[in-house]
Amino acid sequence: MQIKTILNRVQKFKSFVYGSVHWVEGAAIPTVEVEIRARVNSRPLCSKCGRPSPGYDRLPVRRFEFVPMWGHKVFFVYAPRRVACLDCGIRVERLPWVAGKRRLTDTYAWFLAGWAKRLSWKEVAVSFRTSWDHVFCSVERAVSWGRAHQDLSGVEAIGIDEIAWQRGHRYLTLVYQIDGHNKRLLWIGEKRTVKSLLRFFRWFGRERNQALKFVCSDRWRPYLKVIAKKAGHAIHILDRFHIMSHLSKAIDAVRAQETRELKEKGYEPVLTKTRWLLLKRPENLTDQQDTKLSELLQYNLKSIRSYLLKEEFQLFWSYTSPYWAGRFLDKWCTKTMRSKIDPMKKVARMLRRHRPLLLNWFRAKKQFSSGIVEGFNTKAKLTTRKAYGFRTYHATEIALYHALGALPVPKTTHEFF
Where does this chain bind Zn ion (CB under 5 A)? Answer: 46, 48-49, 85, 87-88
- Least distance CB 196 / Zn ion (angstroms): 40
The Cα–Cα gap between 330 and 137 comes to 54
SS3 state of residue 94 = coil
Please name the amino acid found at residue 366. K
82/141 with CB nearer Zn ion: 82
91/240 with CB nearer Zn ion: 91
Strand 157-165, strand 170-178: pairing: antiparallel
The Cα–Cα gap between 366 and 390 comes to 36
- Name the β-bridge partners of 215: 158, 236
Contact 282, 290 (CB under 8 A): yes
53/396 with CB nearer Zn ion: 53
46/348 with CB nearer Zn ion: 46
Strand 31-38, strand 72-78: pairing: parallel
- Name the β-bridge partners of 174: 161, 188
49/382 with CB nearer Zn ion: 49
Give the H/E segment covering residue 91.
strand 89-92
Please name the amino acid found at residue 36. I
92/344 with CB nearer Zn ion: 92
55/154 with CB nearer Zn ion: 55
93/218 with CB nearer Zn ion: 93
- Least distance CB 49 / Zn ion (angstroms): 3
The Cα–Cα gap between 41 and 297 comes to 94
- Name the β-bridge partners of 88: none
- Least distance CB 119 / Zn ion (angstroms): 40
Strand 89-92, strand 81-85: pairing: antiparallel
Please name the amino acid found at residue 83. V
- Least distance CB 91 / Zn ion (angstroms): 6
CA dihedral sign of residues 283, 285, 288, 292: negative
The Cα–Cα gap between 322 and 357 comes to 11
The Cα–Cα gap between 316 and 342 comes to 21
Compute and round to an integer the Cα radius of gyration of the chain: 31
- Least distance CB 61 / Zn ion (angstroms): 24
Task: Identify the CA nearest to 143 among candidates 396, 414, 417.
Answer: 396
**Which one-letter DSSP state was computed for residue 368?**
G
CA dihedral sign of residues 321, 322, 327, 328: positive
96/114 with CB nearer Zn ion: 96
Task: Identify the CA nearest to 45 among candidates 98, 97, 83.
Answer: 83
89/410 with CB nearer Zn ion: 89
- Least distance CB 85 / Zn ion (angstroms): 3
